[in-house]
A and B are shown apart, each in its own frame.
Chain A
């Protein structure tokens, strides 16, 4: 190994340490047997891991997060797939402008998005909490779905749609029979990415959640205000494992890593 790759390797190790390190602390602390969050723990046990499954507010908010995640992701896909298709197939004037516009939800700070949605949508239309969460999350997720599906579409040649048309398919039929089946993996990747983003979303959810209805990350924050036990650390670990399993499964089944 020459000098540069040796140095690069060291940088890699340091970066990984920096990225994973904090999580490692949380991971270990979750298995502590004590009453308070302590690193390194004095004794180890699994009891806080089992405890988080029994906390009622966690259970409720987990279900909420799941519902909001799935529905807002589906909405973002329903919006994102046609947009990605239009961007890739039509040469429209101002395409770059549209693409820039679509990245706004990612660029604008979440707190501002949350506050704006609260003042100008939720309060104006008197939306129930779940609906406002779904709408808010869907807006945030569209840039992700458009981007991932676009990259999947870019790899698909245009001429097969023309071929379908010459064989008697309308453009609609060509889209559903020829384009969609070939971007399945991209759509799945978009789904996973968007879902995880929604599940972990904090700043916007903070403004949109209300009494009794909350997403899991918000509930975790609330919990930490009153209790300082290792539950949160344990729950974090559980969530990370959950996410890794989800991503791992879809990667195994569909090979989504190409598109993300």
Chain B
């Protein structure tokens, strides 16, 4: 559906560096990464709001690299919603249709349909200033989808909403996407969002793709130290660290999620350390333990034996619980809490 290969930026600091990406029809692909990784730049290049320095973009087999943005039939939902302040919700949604000279009654029907699909039928006459963040968000979405674009780009659309609303809207978006079958490219820095929404995730860093895969792939088998660290493998060790067992052959890093590291009584474990801090997480307590390997984050059940700061505990690291990484680029040892 979408084929992208592009570079953007000048000189040494390329925002996007020879990025290659293909998206299938009906897929929801997330571009996930920290600020400045080039995901928004990539999205804006696909939308036509900026021109790549080099590279080509294809939509359904046709090259659109130099096509003006207003002709591309690609929708974009902005992080800030970008609603037209002088128009009502209805008129905002109708904007694109009016530009295309869609006649009544089709225009009104389509606008009403779009507003209904986001649950805002009763708010059509409101100005953006009189709508809540979540409602504005939905108007922005309706405005883009009413035009039935071939591709919908979403630039961190939920990041300005509060946590609860974000989770609700996430589910709504997924439902809508499945229902309409629209191809979506979704930019976010929130890994939970990417994991729950996407068919595939593209992890980006420094303008390049670090890893591309399904959510289970990314979650269970991070390909690089950066991906592991980004996806919550807080215990990341490189080859310089002496683990309590043999270092896996060919591996550059070994990483554990805190929930995969059990904190046990000191006597029952070879690797021991002193508790530096602890966090109450409800079902579990998260312990930060100072060990000869460095700082390790592990979990202990809240309803079993618990420890306090200064206590000596055992840290149960098991190779079968770890992600073994073969990262071609050598990384510095990252401490558990970078």
Contacts and interface: CB of A to CB of B under 8 A. Distances in A.
A227 to B, nearest CB: 52
Interface string A140-181: 000000000000000001011011111111100100011001
A167 B83 contact: no
Contact of A159 (B69, B80, B95, B96): B80
B82 A169 contact: no
Contact of A165 (B69, B80, B83): B69
Contact of B84 (A170, A173, A178): A178
Nearest to B96: A167
A95 interface: no
B91 to A, nearest CB: 11
Contacts of B140: 163
A166 B80 contact: no
Interface centre among B71, B84, B100 (most CB of A within 10 A): B84
A182 B86 contact: yes
Contacts of B143: 163, 167
Contact of A169 (B48, B70, B78): B70
A50 to B, nearest CB: 45
Interface in B74-90: 74-76, 78, 80, 82-86
Nearest to A166: B76
B131 interface: no
B328 interface: no
Contacts of A162: 49, 76, 78, 82
B99 interface: yes
Contact of A160 (B49, B75, B84): B84
A157 B82 contact: yes
A212 B75 CA distance: 62
B115 to A, nearest CB: 16
B141 interface: no
Contact of B86 (A159, A165, A169, A181): A181
Contacts of A163: 76, 78, 82-84, 140, 143
B96 A165 contact: no
B111 interface: no
Given A173-B99, A182-B86, A159 B70 contact: no
A167 B68 CA distance: 12
B275 interface: no
B75 A166 contact: yes
B78 A159 contact: yes
Contacts of B29: none
Interface centre among B68, B69, B144 (most CB of A within 10 A): B69
A149 to B, nearest CB: 16
B317 interface: no
B83 A168 contact: no
A234 to B, nearest CB: 43
Contacts of B144: 166-167
B49 A167 contact: no
Contacts of A168: 70-71, 96, 99-100, 147
Contact of B82 (A160, A181, A182): A160
A112 to B, nearest CB: 43
B47 interface: yes
Contact of B147 (A157, A159, A164, A167): A167
Interface string B82-120: 111110000000011001100000000000000000000
Nearest to B155: A159
Nearest to B80: A159
A167 B78 contact: no
Contacts of B100: 168
A167 B93 CA distance: 10
B80 A167 contact: no
A166 B77 CA distance: 9
A170 B70 contact: yes
A85 to B, nearest CB: 17
A173 B96 CA distance: 11
Contacts of B48: 165-166
Nearest to A183: B86
B296 to A, nearest CB: 44
A178 B82 CA distance: 11
A142 B76 CA distance: 37
A20 B82 CA distance: 46
A163 B71 CA distance: 13
Q: Which 10 A-B pairs have the closest CB atoms?
A: A167-B96, A163-B82, A159-B82, A166-B76, A168-B99, A181-B86, A165-B69, A160-B82, A165-B70, A168-B70
Given A163-B82, A163-B84, A181-B86, 20 more contacts: A159-B78, A160-B82, A160-B83, A160-B84, A162-B49, A162-B76, A163-B140, A163-B143, A165-B49, A165-B70, A166-B47, A166-B76, A166-B144, A167-B70, A167-B95, A167-B99, A167-B144, A168-B70, A168-B71, A178-B84
15 contacts: A159-B82, A163-B140, A163-B143, A164-B95, A166-B47, A166-B49, A166-B69, A166-B74, A167-B144, A168-B96, A168-B100, A177-B95, A178-B84, A182-B84, A182-B85
